[in-house]
Amino acid sequence: MINKLLKRNTETVIGDLDRLSLVRDGIIPSHIAIIMDGNGRWAKKRSLPRVAGHHEGMKTVRKITRLANNLGVDVLTLYAFSTENWKRPKMEVDFLMRLPEEFLSTFLPELVAENVKVEMMGDHTNLPAHTLKAISKAKEATKDNTGLILNFALNYGSRSEIVDSVKELAAQVAAGTLDPEDITEEHISSGLMTKSLPEPDLLIRTSGEVRLSNFMLWQLAYTEFWFTDTLWPDFNEDSLIDAVENYQKRNRRFGGLKGEEAQ
């Protein structure tokens, strides 16, 4: 970030440093979730294969992880692969499944050094052994880190996550250990893969699509949404600052109202 800033003229440098420090002084969303869309479109615009867009998108993941950690964000959840993505051509799926290894082979030492904790949510079954191995290694190497939680949603689908949570409760009811009358929201939440994480404060979706696409449906009930036309490979530090700046403006407009009144 700083390197990039220094390449520009002095006026821009000062302007951007001000913007960064102003954002730093405001309320930082504890959990940011991102639907990283537009990689295929980015490639198409350049007459490149779709996988070139995915590869470029991986570079954005690095940039955004660094800045989020730097801003003091607690959790960054990134939607890397949905359960729907299996419908894509086999060659593209195979390429995507190599990205965690490629990403971690170069970036894991920095994640360890920067106190980032890698986590994954999603269905492990169906994921190739090589992908799981790379992720397990990263989880193990970073398990004691206390900084940013970098949570990859991989082979993740929100409805099936909710179904699994409800199934577990139904089993308890069937076993006679839970009275249906006693079921609360907390019972459902605690059966989700996000049970130990705060709910997202800010959801970002890139590339102009304005849908949730089966992403964290339960957890996003009170989340602020930020949609941008920027394609994920073009999303950069400035783009994240824009999103957080806007989040802070909205928060200020609540005028201190929290919970019920702020809904």
Q: Which residues are catalytic?
A: 37, 85
Smallest CA-to-CA distance from 150 within 228, 242, 73 is with 73
* CB-nearer residue toward ligand V07: 18 or 140: 140
**251-261-202 Cα angle (round to 5):** 35
Least Å distance, CB 138 to ligand V07, is: 5
Cross-strand partners of 150? 76, 118
Establish if 81 lies at the interface with ligand V07 (CB under 6 A): yes
Between the CA of residue 73 and those of 199, 200, 211, what are the distances in Å? 13, 11, 24
Sketch the per residue contact string, 229 through 258, with ligand V07: x for CB under 6 A, - otherwise. Answer: ---x--------------------------
Distance CA 104, CA 109 (A): 8
The SS3 call for residue 144 is coil
Cross-strand partners of 34? 78, 204
Number of residues in contact with ligand V07 under rule CB under 6 A: 20
* CB-nearer residue toward ligand V07: 31 or 55: 55
Please answer whether residues 221 and 89 qualify as being in contact, where contact means their C-beta atoms are separated by less than 8 angstroms. no
Residues 110 to 169 in contact with ligand V07, rule: CB under 6 A: 118, 120, 135, 138, 152, 154
Residues 31 to 70 in contact with ligand V07, rule: CB under 6 A: 36, 39, 54, 57-58, 61
* CB-nearer residue toward ligand V07: 155 or 165: 155
Amino acid residing at 130: H
Binding residues vs ligand V07 (CB under 6 A): 36, 39, 54, 57-58, 61, 80-81, 96, 99-100, 103-104, 118, 120, 135, 138, 152, 154, 232
